[in-house]
């Protein structure tokens, strides 16, 4: 169930989403990115070892 705050600012952003979405940035912590890379490499090595 959606939650509505009644925020005029949020309503404006949603109404102008085609323009506003360009102002948002993805936040991706470098430590988390490193951990995901390590997991991916470990999985790839495990797959190669099984083949």
Q: What is the pLDDT of residues 17-41, one digit of tens each?
A: 999 999 999 998 999 999 999 999 9
Whether residue 4 has pLDDT greater than 90: no
pLDDT computed for residue 51 by the predictor: 79
- Phi and psi torsions of 31, nearest 5°: -65, -40
For the residues 8-19, what does the mean pLDDT come to?
A: 93
What is the DSSP track for 1-51? -------HHHHHHHHTHHHHGGG------HHHHHHHHHHHHHHHHHHHHH-
Q: What value does the mean pLDDT of the chain take? A: 91
- Domain assignments of the chain as residue spans, ordered by start: 26-51
């Amino acid at each position: 169930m959606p939650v509505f705050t009644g925020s005029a600012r949020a309503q404006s952003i949603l109404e102008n989403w085609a323009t506003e979405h360009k102002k948002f940035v993805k936040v991706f912590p470098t430590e988390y990115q490193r951990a995901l890379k390590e997991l991916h490499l470990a999985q790839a090595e495990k797959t190669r070892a099984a083949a």
